[in-house]
Chains A and B, each alone.
Chain A
């Protein structure tokens, strides 16, 4: 989703909010009129006062609960894109000028979250090394993590794949550098709660090897994949609405990584 699409969504959302507010206001006004009418009919008697209080309380309920619904609807976090200096956390090697710029733009997104930045950068910078040929046991792979200080990426990746691979591999780095956060990932609970999001082998369905397994195992790969999906919540099929399709997994990422 590009910037224009995001702006359109924001405008649409604001208009929807305005319409909701108008409806609540109309309901409130109608309730107040009814209360006034009731108290007039009752001739200002006790019954009228009762009616006024009851209806006023209902108005409060409508506004409060309506407002609460509004709040929870916008709880799904929009990915932030302010400018970030990535050199504190990442040291890119083997990249051309264009590739470097592209990777900087990509990494700016997660680094805008203080929680993510702390988890990834507290133990020193991570080398992001681009190589022409990246294979493992004879198979071409897009990215590797061999230790907690280095990511290796195949240099010829198209933009979307590059973005996804970087996000996913930084997820592995976060695990390796933060054992407590690793422990926080209740994999089998998420597989049960968000069962439509996971393959029979327990991998998030967007993971390239979700059907066949592999990589670091279902737990490890789902950990990293959840982090990538949080940053690309509407871009990866079949989980193109990650927050709503996989609320438990999304909630974990929001609470433990991207706070």
Chain B
């Protein structure tokens, strides 16, 4: 009786093990949904012209890397995209501009941003997409016309085109597909 019980337990365990293995194999080989892209920073609370590196670190943590060049300090924050980083640039210890990647419309929508008022459309040598810049508000969004891909916070300026930010991002009024043509 005891022997039969042991055999039954062993049998059931074996069958369960086998079907677990089969389930795992089937699950593993079925199409895996790609991981959603995520930016872990929030620069919306930053104050261009006033925030310091310490202020940014308090909100967003230490950056993944830093760079000091020509008197400017740049913080780079990793996102879950290996090629797209969030960037903060300081000059003389104060935030000049911050660029944050937007991977989901729920974070920031084009309709929501357009409600800020009038904007100018700019183009960048470094980007496929255009920038809608709300100069007096100190906000700009990179967009394909449907969704926001990046947002930039900068010191509000009456003439954005001549600002250091615009020069650094190679922004212009002319429509420029970077490194055109595309063979």
Instruction: Determine whether the beta carbon of B18 is less than 8 Å from that of A221.
Output: no
Interface string of B138-153 (1 = CB under 8 A from A): 0000111111010000
Q: Which of A24-32, A99-107, A137-145 contacts its partner?
A: A137-145
Q: How far is the CB of A202 from chain B (nearest CB, A)?
A: 10
Q: Which of A60, A64, A179, A188 contacts B83 (CB 8 A)?
A: A188
In the assembly, what is the distance between CA of A60 and CA of B15, in Å?
A: 11
Instruction: Determine whether the beta carbon of A224 is less than 8 Å from that of B182.
Output: yes
What is the size category of the interface that chain B forms with chain A?
35 or more
In the assembly, what is the distance between CA of A234 and CA of B81, in Å?
A: 30
Q: Which of A10-18, A33-41, A82-90, A212-220 contacts its partner?
A: A212-220
**Main secondary structure on chain B at its contact with chain A?**
loop
Interface size for A (C-beta < 8 A) is: 48
Instruction: Determine whether the beta carbon of B128 is less than 8 Å from that of A141.
Output: no
Within 8 A of B (CB), among A42-69: 46, 50, 53-54, 57, 60-61, 64-65, 68
Instruction: Determine whether the beta carbon of A186 is less than 8 Å from that of B81.
Output: yes
Q: Which of A110-118, A168-176, A236-244 contacts its partner?
A: A168-176
Instruction: Determine whether the beta carbon of A146 is less than 8 Å from that of B7.
Output: no
Known: A183-B81, A186-B83. A172 touches B182 (CB 8 A): yes
Q: How far is the CB of A179 from chain B (nearest CB, A)?
A: 3
Q: Which of A54, A61, A221, A224 contacts B22 (CB 8 A)?
A: A61
CB-defined contacts of B92 to chain A, threshold 8 Å = none
Instruction: Determine whether the beta carbon of A50 is less than 8 Å from that of B7.
Output: yes
Q: Which of B11, B14, B18, B147 contacts A180 (CB 8 A)?
A: B147
Instruction: Determine whether the beta carbon of A179 is less than 8 Å from that of B149.
Output: yes
The reply on B112 being an interface residue by CB < 8 A is no
Closest to B18 in A: A57
In the assembly, what is the distance between CA of A177 and CA of B178, in Å?
A: 15
CB-defined contacts of B147 to chain A, threshold 8 Å = 179-180
Which A residues have a C-beta under 8 Å from some C-beta of B?
A: 46, 50, 53-54, 57, 60-61, 64-65, 68, 71-72, 123, 136, 141-147, 169, 172, 175-180, 182-184, 186-189, 208-209, 214-217, 219-221, 224, 255-256
18 A-B residue contacts at CB 8 Å?
A: A54-B11, A54-B14, A57-B14, A60-B22, A64-B22, A68-B26, A141-B183, A146-B181, A169-B182, A179-B146, A180-B147, A183-B37, A183-B84, A183-B101, A189-B82, A215-B179, A216-B179, A255-B31
Which 6 A-B pairs have CB atoms at the shortest separation, nearest pair first?
A179-B144, A144-B181, A179-B149, A136-B181, A141-B183, A188-B82
